[in-house]
Amino acid sequence: KQQSGQTYNFELSGQTTGYIAAGVSNAASESARYRAYVCANHNSAVRFFTGFIENQVLNLTETLTTSNVKGSVTSGKIQCTFSAALPDTTTRAAAYALSVTTGNYNPNSKSTTTAAPANNETTAAPANNGTTAAPANNGTTAAPANKATTIAPNTLPPVASISRQECGSSKLCAAEPTKCDPASGDCYFLSAKQQSGQKYNFELSGQTTGYIAAGLSNAAIQTVSHRAYVCANHNGAVRFFTGFIKNLVLNLTETLDSSNERGSVNSGKIQCTFSAVLPDPFTRAAGYSMSITIGPYNASSGQPGPANSRIQTPVVNLSDPTANATNLLSN
């Protein structure tokens, strides 16, 4: 499904105990080179990776850019969804052959075997809420979580270094203690940087053994509903999911769109980055209060516990890096 320009949303589904791959090529021939988007059964979790298929051989030495990855494994069926930007914008968007292939997958070595053609009927994947982001080091595989897509921890890239650099110049920052640097020492930190229009890039960092959540609301009080973007320590990997926080209760029944999720856990500190499009395009971008909450997280059930506030800012203009994002809770 076309999202915009050359960016498309894909749904992939099929029965396999190994992996299933969506292929996209400019030629409808098995000997052609296909861009491959692969979902593998990694100990009952979905490991997502990319590469190329040529002559039914899957090559993972080259990778492709994707976002919004979600997946699940149920009764031998793998289902996953993802977004990808396709090349060749000078050709017709129709000039692509689609394929579905399956093959064997070894979760211990994370290796695949020759791809075999599969039945190319697809089924819409369920709207599961959650992704497990890769840790900065090689962590353990995340166990399947309740009400969440659980993806092996080496599937998404680790977070880049988060620091105070560019605070006040190109990104708006909120921190506790004030002006602390998340790159060193204990620091609760949230930054917002306008990408375009209502789309923002966010950085989140803080000390917790459970989860840390970035909150956004049109009012600077805890009794209203805050859009919540949550990063949880899931057995040494970062599980990313979304929902709403109201009265310090995290509700996951509704989900939010996000992309470019990255995360890492290191010495009790969770750091993650993501992009999100904020609503209310007819109101000022200023209409948002930023917040950070933390809480316990059960990696077995995938359920977060009650939230505990660490930062709450006034309603500020997220597109203004110089806005006054002081912590109202420290006053």
CATH of the domain at 233: 2.60.40
Question: Angle at the Cα of 177 (from 276 to 297), degrees rounded to 5?
Answer: 55
Residue 156 lies in a domain: no
The predicted model gives 109-119 an average pLDDT of: 54
Q: Mean of the per-residue pLDDT values for the chain? A: 81
**C-beta of residue 87 within 8 angstroms of C-beta of residue 65:** no
Both tokens assigned to 18: 């190994």
The predicted model gives 249-267 an average pLDDT of: 89
**C-beta of residue 174 within 8 angstroms of C-beta of residue 180:** no
The answer on 177 and 108 residing in a single domain is no
Residue 20 lies in a domain: yes
Return the pLDDT at 192: 97
Token pair 């990778």: residue: 63
From 59-68, 108-117, 218-227, the region with the lowest mean pLDDT: 108-117
Which of the two residues, 176 and 129, has the higher pLDDT score? 176
Residue 147 lies in a domain: no
Return the pLDDT at 185: 83
State the CB neighbour count (10 A cutoff) for residue 238.
31
The answer on 201 and 89 residing in a single domain is no
- Whether residue 113 is predicted with pLDDT greater than 80 in this model: the reply is no
**How far out from the chain centre does Cα 228 lie?**
13
Confidence band for 157, pLDDT divided at 50, 70 and 90: low
The answer on 322 and 178 residing in a single domain is yes
Confidence band for 331, pLDDT divided at 50, 70 and 90: low
What is the largest distance, in Å, between two alpha-carbon atoms of the chain?
Answer: 66
Domain boundary at 127, 154, 189, which?
127
Give, for 70, the enclosing helix (H) or strand (E). strand 66-74
Question: How far from 269 is each of 95, 186, 204, 231, 306, CA to CA, in Å?
Answer: 46, 8, 10, 11, 19
The predicted model gives 60-74 an average pLDDT of: 83
Cβ-based burial of 90 (10 A; exposed 0-12, middle 13-18, buried ≥19)? exposed
Q: How far apart are CA 306 and CA 59, in angstroms?
A: 44
Entry pTM: 0.57
Residue 302 lies in a domain: yes
The answer on 209 and 89 residing in a single domain is no
The answer on 205 and 123 residing in a single domain is no
The answer on 45 and 106 residing in a single domain is yes
Domain boundary at 70, 103, 127, which?
127
Q: How far apart are CA 202 and CA 200, in angstroms?
A: 6
Return the pLDDT at 187: 96
Q: How far apart are CA 236 and CA 106, in angstroms?
A: 22
Which of the two residues, 125 and 274, has the higher pLDDT score? 274
Residue 291 lies in a domain: yes
The predicted model gives 286-292 an average pLDDT of: 87
From 130-134, 160-164, 232-236, the region with the lowest mean pLDDT: 130-134
Domain boundary at 127, 161, 187, which?
127
**C-beta of residue 188 within 8 angstroms of C-beta of residue 309:** no
The answer on 188 and 106 residing in a single domain is no
Q: Which residues contact 107 (CB under 8 A, 6 or more apart)?
A: 40, 41, 42, 43, 47, 141, 152
The answer on 192 and 120 residing in a single domain is no
The answer on 278 and 201 residing in a single domain is yes
Confidence band for 154, pLDDT divided at 50, 70 and 90: very low
Residue 110 lies in a domain: yes
Both tokens assigned to 112: 């695949």
Question: Angle at the Cα of 247 (from 241 to 252), degrees rounded to 5?
Answer: 25
For the segment 128-150, what is each residue's pLDDT rounded down to a tens digit?
A: 345 555 433 323 233 333 333 34
Domain that holds residue 55: 2-127
The answer on 285 and 185 residing in a single domain is yes
DSSP bridge pairs for 47: 40
The answer on 196 and 118 residing in a single domain is no
Q: Which residues contact 156 (CB under 8 A, 6 or more apart)?
A: 48, 69, 131, 132, 133, 134, 261, 262, 263
Q: How far apart are CA 87 and CA 217, in angstroms?
A: 37
Question: Angle at the Cα of 171 (from 167 to 176), degrees rounded to 5?
Answer: 55
Residue 136 lies in a domain: no
The answer on 114 and 222 residing in a single domain is no
Return the pLDDT at 159: 84
Return the pLDDT at 205: 98
- pLDDT above 70: percentage of residues in the chain: 80
Q: How many structural domains compose the chain? A: 2
For the segment 269-281, what is each residue's pLDDT rounded down to a tens digit?
A: 999 999 999 876 4
Q: How far apart are CA 289 and CA 269, in angstroms?
A: 24
Residue 151 lies in a domain: no
